Chains A and B, each alone.
Chain A
Amino acid sequence: MKLEGRRIFRGKTTGEVLFSSEDISFYGGCDPETGEIVEKSHPLEGKSVSGKVLVFPTGKGSTVGSYVLYALSKAGMAPLAIVNEATDPVVAVGCIIGEIPAIDQINIDKLEDGQKVEVDADAGVISILEQ
């Protein structure tokens, strides 16, 4: 199955979905060195976004969050790609400066944890390879 959206930042990658039904604040909500979600009672609390196709509705919180995505990228701990319903400016800028492939305008309810997917951000398409 293919889902069509819009390119936020270029790139192509294949990986496993880490799904969050809740918005993510990278500043204060995600450890910039390990990629672990540290926001209390967040559905992803204790899980690392590193090396995953990170799927969540939209970003929230401080604009400093862009630098957290940049830090993760520099440390080799960034998500492989980011998929949103609607990308907010903090996450968009973080993906650009951290060079993380990203797409939005995706109906994320079609995605779930552990699926293997291909993200073609240039075309704005995510393909589910294995359930």
Chain B
Amino acid sequence: MISLGLRLTAEEEEMLDGRRGNATAKAMEIITTLGEIYGAERLIPVSSVQIAGVSYHNLGEAGLEYLAEMAEDGQTRVLTTLNPAGMDLEEWKKHGISPDFAANQKRVIEAFAKMGVITTCTCTPYLVGNLPHYGEHIAWAESSAVAFANSVIGARTNREGGPSALAAALTGRTAEYGLHLDENRHAEVKYEIETELHNTDDFGLLGQVIGNRTKNAIPYIAGVPRATSEELKSFCASIATYGGVALFHIEKITPNRTPIPEKIETVTKSDLDNARKELDDEGATIDFISVGCPHASIGEIARIAEMLDGKKVSEKKTVWITTAKPTKDLAIKMGYYDKIEEAGAYLVSDACCAVAPLKGRFTGLMTDSAKACFYARGKNNFKTEIRTVEECIEEAIS
């Protein structure tokens, strides 16, 4: 039934016609159909997969049922990790997650585990062992990680959905189209940055400004003299949230080669100030502070632990520092976890404030993440304020 455009190898034909099991056949059907829609001529091997759609809050019973069906005979063929779940898989109780939700979330994780997925749940797989190299073809789903992999690392992935990423995991293949091809990776609009950028919040705001303007057009960004990995991950989350950008170029910072576009836009300090105003709701009463969207690195956690050492979080406020489980384990070893938790804040792993079931629990979020503001408003009806990490922690202990 495959059109003449898409050619399959003998092994791929076997996967499609069911000789490698039902889940593999379903997975191959997803991949070949997407390939046909986008005019791919062949499938290509992928070496790494990252699956989104893990929180039971988003998946619901239907998503879980699908995963259970695929887990009957599906097995991953390549390194595969997960996006954040709706709760810390171990310490969920003290974070106020209901036992019902926890039971359902665990069923989701068990279905993935049965398929051989490495069940660390993080939007920053590149920080914890799922790290592709330049030019490597992968199939990732989390939008901020897709932007980071394509742009900062120079690996190649389209923005996959949950089922298509799982399909890539079970077949070890993706269809060759979109950002897997050189000709689709060239910059389309040049953005000249005429303002200084200092912290993760500034980079988030820059992502918001460019994302809103560029939509899906690939940006070439000039005038950013330096950026930390943490600032780049904040930028990735924001530009993918506000603009659907899966690939960008920053002059002298990102590794991909591209012709420099003739169309030029500028970003000024007032653009950034306006973006900040846009995310600062009037009359917000801050009762929730969250840092770690995308998941905090061990360096960020070390700094937060230092700031919270010997302090006490206000009784009226809840603080979530969200990170990947391997990073949390390292934070425990280094004593950062104790400093954070003794201050009354939580170091939450495997989850984040965007996918946890938090609606109705808080009214106002302060965060350093422009992406977290977007989901806090849209999904949870929280008011938001965007500040530096230092200001967030000061707010927490005030």
Shortest Cβ gap from B35 to chain A (Å): 11
Residues of chain B within 8 A of A8, CB atoms compared = 33, 37
B30 and A74 contact, CB distance less than 8 A: no
Docked CA distance A8–B76 (Å) = 25
Q: Residues of A contacting B52 with CB < 8 Å?
A: 63
- Residues 345-358 of B, flagged 1 when their CB comes within 8 A of A and 0 if not, give 00000000000000
Contact of B161 with A71 in the complex, beta carbons under 8 Å:
no
Distance of A96 Cα from B29 Cα, bound (Å): 7
The answer to whether the Cβ of A111 comes within 8 Å of any Cβ in the partner chain is no
List the B residue with the shortest CB-CB distance to A93.
B163
The answer to whether A64 and B59 have CB atoms under 8 Å apart is yes
Query: What are the residues of chain A within 8 A of B61 when measuring CB–CB?
Result: 71
With A10-B1, A93-B161 as known contacts, state yes or no: A67 contacts B33, CB within 8 Å.
Answer: no
Q: Which residues of A contact B34 (CB under 8 A)?
A: 89, 92-93
Q: Does A32 contact B (CB under 8 A)?
A: yes
Establish whether residues B60 and A32, one from each chain, have CB atoms under 8 Å apart when the complex forms.
yes
Please tell me if A9 contacts chain B, counting CB pairs below 8 Å.
Answer: yes
A residues near B53, Cβ cutoff 8 Å: 63-64, 67
Bound complex: CA A97 to CA B36 (Å): 17
B62 touches A32 (CB 8 A): yes
Given contacts A63-B162, A64-B53, A67-B60, whether A89 and B37 have CB atoms under 8 Å apart is: yes
Is B66 on the interface with A (CB-CB < 8 A)?
A: yes
**Chain B residues with CB under 8 A of A66:** 161-163
Which of A6, A9, A67, A104 is in CB contact (< 8 Å) with B66? A67
Residue total for A at the interface (Cβ-Cβ under 8 A) = 23
Q: How many angstroms from the CA of A70 to the CA of B26 in the assembled complex?
A: 13
In the complex, what distance in Å separates the CA atom of A101 from the CA atom of B126?
A: 38
> What is the CA–CA distance of A90 and B163 in the complex, to the nearest angstrom?
9
A residues 78-97 touching B (CB-CB < 8 Å): 87, 89-90, 92-93, 96-97
Contact A67 B1 (CB under 8 A): no
- Asked if B17 lies at the interface with its beta carbon under 8 angstroms from chain A, I say no
Minimum CB distance partner of A86 in chain B? B37
Cβ of A116 under 8 Å from chain B: no
Q: Are A92 and B63 in touch, CB under 8 angstroms?
A: no
CA distance A8 to B38 in the complex (A): 12
Bin chain B's interface residue count: 20 to 34
Measured CB to CB, the closest approach of chain A to B20, in angstroms, equals 17
> How distant is A68 from chain B, measured CB to nearest CB, in Å?
7
Asked if B258 is at the interface of the complex by the 8 Å CB criterion, the answer is: no
With A66-B163, A67-B53, A89-B161 known as contacts, the answer to whether A74 contacts B33 (CB < 8 A) is no
In the assembled complex, which residues on chain B have CB atoms less than 8 Å from the CB atom of A32?
A: 60, 62
Interface core residue of A32, A63, A74, A87 (most chain B CB under 10 Å): A63
Question: In B31-64, which residues have CB < 8 Å from any A CB?
Answer: 33-34, 36-37, 52-53, 58-63
Roughly how many angstroms separate A6 CA and B4 CA in the complex, as a whole number?
Answer: 13
Indicate if the CB atoms of B30 and A97 lie closer than 8 Å: yes
* Chain B: CB-nearest residue to A104: B37
A70 near B62 with CB under 8 A, answer: yes
- Flag if A67 contacts B30 (CB, 8 Å): no
Residue in contact with A63 in the complex, picked from B60, B62, B141, CB distance below 8 Å: B141
Residue in chain B with minimal CB distance to A63: B161
Interface check A7, CB cutoff 8 A: yes
Residue of B nearest to A64 (CB): B58
Q: Which of A9, A90, A97 has the most CB of B within 10 A?
A: A97
Residues of A within 8 A of B163 (CB): 63, 66-67, 93, 97
Contact of A96 among B26, B160, B162 (CB under 8 A): B26
Which of A32, A64, A70, A104 gathers most chain B CB within 10 Å?
A: A64
User: B164, A89: Cβ atoms under 8 Å?
Assistant: yes
Docked CA distance A67–B30 (Å)? 13
Find out whether the CB atom of B60 lies under 8 angstroms from the CB atom of A9: no
Set of chain B residues within 8 Å of A89, measured between Cβ atoms: 34, 37, 161, 164
Q: Interface on B for A, CB 8 Å cutoff?
A: 1, 26, 29-30, 33-34, 36-37, 52-53, 58-63, 65-66, 141, 160-164
Chain A residues proximal to chain B, CB less than 8 Å:
6-10, 32, 63-64, 66-68, 70-71, 74, 87, 89-90, 92-93, 96-97, 104, 122
Task: Please list 17 pairs of residues, one from A and one from B, whose beta carbons are closer than 8 Å in the complex, sorted by A's number.
Answer: A6-B36, A8-B37, A10-B1, A32-B62, A63-B53, A63-B160, A63-B163, A66-B163, A67-B63, A67-B66, A67-B162, A68-B62, A70-B62, A70-B66, A92-B37, A93-B163, A97-B163
Q: Which 3 A-B pairs have the closest CB atoms?
A: A71-B62, A63-B161, A67-B63
Known: A32-B60, A63-B141, A96-B33. 6 other contacts (CB 8 A): A63-B163, A64-B162, A67-B66, A71-B65, A89-B164, A93-B34
